[in-house]
Structure 1
Amino acid sequence: MAAVSCLLSEDQFLCSICLDVFADPVSTSCGHNFCKNCITEHWKTNDRYQCPMCKEVFHIRPELHINTFISEIVSQFKSAQQEACSSSDRQVSKPREVPCDVCTGTKLKALKSCLVCLVSYCETHLESHLTASGLKRHQLIDPVENLEGRMCTKHDTPLELFCKTDQTCVCTFCTVSDHKMHDVVPLKEEYEGKKAELGKTEAEIQQMIQKRRLKIQEIKHSVGLSEEDADREKAEGVQVFTSLKESVERGLKELIDTIEEKQRTTEQQAEGFIKELEQEISELIKRRTEVEQLSRSEDHLHLLQSVQSLNIHPPPTKDWTKVSVRPSYEGTVVRAVAQLEDKLSKEMKQLVKAELERVPQYVVNVTLDPDTAYPYLTLSENGKEVNCDGVCKFPQQPKEIYSL
């Protein structure tokens, strides 16, 4: 059955409806195979019973039975596939693994690399290096890529040493030629030292990152507090300016009321004068009528006798020459504005004083890390360095200064 599985492909075991490997395969009378659930659901959603492959129509719904032969073949085919995949996963080189340089076709995972042959070998192709006497002397290492880069270009031998004087990898022959009398150590010794140094650097960098993340949180927190204060200040500002607006409106109303009151007083005074004048006019008209009638009399005696009893002179009246009802509004608006300005000025001074006593000052401290900052990077104002206390001093600086 294993041989049969090798000759068959997965496409021969796919259901034409779900396009997946058969599950409970059944056969129709026309000879085509489907998953039992797939063909059942297909017929439920169609008006007639028809084969999805050859389109043959069945007048009566066929009875479906599991095809045990195909079911068994599918089961064994799945098992063979799983075994092949498991075996392949254990051997085939993955993207980040070093492949065998000898394998043709599918590259298997390399087990060792030879510094003499400059070739990486899988478990099968490595066998000769483990058994052949001539190959046993070759230096084997864990599989690595770019084996040519591990060889000395001048002497064509492995780079096994490190020259601390020139800070470069060298081979054994280099130590007696170009690097004679230099401080040379094994690669592993320098590797351990550099690895420890890199670990320390990594820890320092991580600490710097953490500090800056904390600083970001601190700044964000300060921004949050500032936002809360801004909202509160806006609310208080609206309240203050609303109060000031109401004061202005009250001042305007008082001004208008004053002017209107003065106008009403003027009107009342004018009405009194007019009434008094009309009364005088009435008396003058009466006297004029009497004088007119007397002047028309032809009786000499009557006229003379009447003149004695009638006062022919005008009745006594008021001197209206200096009487005036024109009020003066000059300076009314100016005085009202001056009073309002004085009042608002006092209120604003009180508000500013209270605000300065109440409002906290939020400051974000920016720290320059001495290990990473430019050595001549300074906080300055007007060309003078400023320390954390805000005190200016005049340092001895180079010609090029980078200032914040």
Structure 2
Amino acid sequence: MSAASCQLTEDQFLCSICLDVFTDPVTIPCGHNFCKTCITQHWSVNVPYKCPNCKDIFYTKPKVQVNTFISEMAAQFRQSAQQKVSSSSSEQQVSKPGEVPCDVCTGTKLKALKSCLVCLASDCETHLEPHLTAKQLKRHQLIDPVENLEGRMCTKHDKLLELFCKTDQMCVCMLCTVLDHQGHSVVPLKEEYEGKKVELGKTDAEIQQMIQKRRLKIQEMKRSVELSKKDADREIAAGVQVFSALKESVERSQAELIDTIKEKQRETEKQAEGFIKELQQEISELEERSSEVEQLSQSEDHLHLLQSSPSLNAAPPTKDWTGVSIRPPSYEGTVVRAVNQLEETLSNQMKKVELKRVQQYAVDVTLDPDTAHPKLILSDDGKQVSCGYVEKKLPDNPERFDPCIYVIAKQSFSSGRFYYEVQVKGKTHWTLGVARELINRKGVITQRPQDGYWTIGLRNKNEYYAPADPSIRLSLKRRPEKVGVFVDYEEGLVSFYDFDAAALIYSFTGCCFTQKLYPFFSPCVSGGGKNSAPLMISPVSETF
């Protein structure tokens, strides 16, 4: 029997009613076999009594008995199947938290591979086999394993939710469309699924774009933090340098103050010592004369006393000490002068620190010959410009300044900070600064911030000014030989520095920049050779 059972297939041991291996199989008069419970329940609701397979009718309810042969064969098949399940379960994956378990497995639950929408059950690899081999089960709809299969059934009609009502935006069954959703726009789930999938794809693309923007924003913020840290480190270093210099200056000034006071005290002591020594010398001489007088006065020799007294009556030569005194030196103003000198030292140090701070934004600037007035002479490297006597014949392009003796740089800046230095030594007239991109380059040009120019200049040899409305006269303690130009685009700041003095000359503040900015230069006319020295763009150096 064991050998024979090996030749049998699984289909021969399946009840066509419950679609499972026979339990207490019985044979009815037409010869078909069913589970005893299955056929009994079937006939309890179907009269006349009919065979579920061949449809033969029995007008009298047949008496059924267990078919022992098939029962034994089914038991052996069930045992063999159970052994296969046990052997294969060791190879299959056990269901983990978050995974759908097999609904058929007893004991250890294996991971489900598919869920059946007809059986409303999820099967592992072993229990899925009947759906892949049995004819009746092959027609069932299988999907990737999901939990809560009961939720896929219509709670009202106990039918599969296989349609979607677009009107009410809900999943429905076939009976719902007839009874509750008449006239509504109803489509198959798959069709709505495809549409929703496209919408979700667009939504996901939008979300990914939002994520990317936020990632870029994070990178921007991280860069800002890095720049902030660099600025902080730089400011700390500058602060340490300033306070170290201040400390050294304080200690030096304190030492100088103490030395000055001590030196005055030493001079007073020295003077007093000289007077005291001189007085002591006179006292010694007077005491000696007093001793001689006393000795003579005690003499009983009349002749000797009379002969010696004339020489003793005259006092020894001495100094008139009436107007001589030691006056303590005056220290008034000593501390004040030391503090003022210290303040000046600190102020100079602060100026140097400020100039060093802006110098870190140094950029390489070269002159643009396409913008230079025809009289201007530019060096081959684009670092020097002076005004000649002859106007060259050049193409009259829109970028060229004419008739004003101007030129701008090739480089432009529309964000951030930048700094450059220009030597103005030996010149009697010049103008420096920045100009925006869209400015008037022909005819009469007014150098004012409202016209796109932020500059300072020298005219009439010693008159420094900042063109504005009205023009601002600048009071400088010395003639700068090298001028530094610093721009903070976002802050709206244009500052000019005297490099050698490390001093701020002037600042335009509260500017609103909306266009590109170009470094601007005007060496002005040569003035018969008095102003022939060139403007020279210098490499930025921290040497003061």
Deviations 1:37-93 (Å, cap 9, x if unpaired)? xxxxxxxxxxxxxxxxxxxxxxxxxxxxxxxxxxxxxxxxxxxxxxx89x8379957
Matched, 1:318 2:336: no
Equivalence for 1:151 = 153
Equivalence for 1:253 = 255
Equivalence for 2:242 = 240
> Aligned to 1:319, what secondary structure does the other structure show?
coil
Deviations 1:5-28 (Å, cap 9, x if unpaired)? xxxxxxxxxxxxxxxxxxxxxxxx
Q: Quick check: 1:92–1:107 contact (8 Å CA) kept in 2? A: no
Matched, 1:113 2:116: yes
Deviations 1:342-386 (Å, cap 9, x if unpaired)? 3344234424532553477x99xxxxxxxxxxxxxxxxxxxxxxx
Deviation at 1:153, TM superposition (A): 0.9
Deviation at 1:191, TM superposition (A): 0.8
2:88 alignment partner AA: S
Q: Give the unaligned 5+ runs of structure 2.
A: 1-83, 362-414, 417-489, 493-509, 511-544
- Taking the TM superposition and a 5 Å limit, the aligned residue runs for 1:5-404 are 88=88, 95=95, 96=99, 99=102, 101=104, 113-115=116-118, 117-119=119-121, 122=127, 124-126=129-131, 130-131=135-136, 140-142=141-143, 144-145=145-146, 146-298=148-300, 303-304=305-306, 306-307=308-309, 309-310=310-311, 312-328=313-329, 330-331=331-332, 334-335=335-336, 337-351=338-352, 353-354=354-355, 357-358=358-359
- CA 1:337 to 1:183, structure 2 compared with 1: closer, same or farther past 3 Å? farther
Higher helix proportion (structure 1 or 2): 1
Deviation at 1:152, TM superposition (A): 0.9
2:276 alignment partner AA: I
Q: Quick check: 2:114–2:142 contact (8 Å CA) kept in 1? A: no
1:339 alignment partner AA: N
Q: Give the unaligned 5+ runs of structure 1.
A: 1-83, 364-387, 392-404
Q: Percent identity?
A: 57
Higher strand proportion (structure 1 or 2): 2
- CA 1:233 to 1:170, structure 2 compared with 1: closer, same or farther past 3 Å? same
> Aligned to 1:126, what secondary structure does the other structure show?
helix
Q: Quick check: 1:248–1:340 contact (8 Å CA) kept in 2? A: no
Does 1 or 2 have the higher relative contact order (CA < 8 Å, sep 6+)?
2
What CA distance in whole angstroms lies between the structure 1 residues aligned with 2:114 and 2:347?
Answer: 90
What CA distance in whole angstroms lies between the structure 1 residues aligned with 2:312 and 2:89?
Answer: 149
Name the TM-score, length of structure 1 as normaliser: 0.55
2:135 alignment partner AA: L
Q: Quick check: 1:161–1:186 contact (8 Å CA) kept in 2? A: yes
- CA 1:294 to 1:89, structure 2 compared with 1: closer, same or farther past 3 Å? same
Q: CA RMSD in A?
A: 4.2
> Aligned to 1:310, what secondary structure does the other structure show?
helix
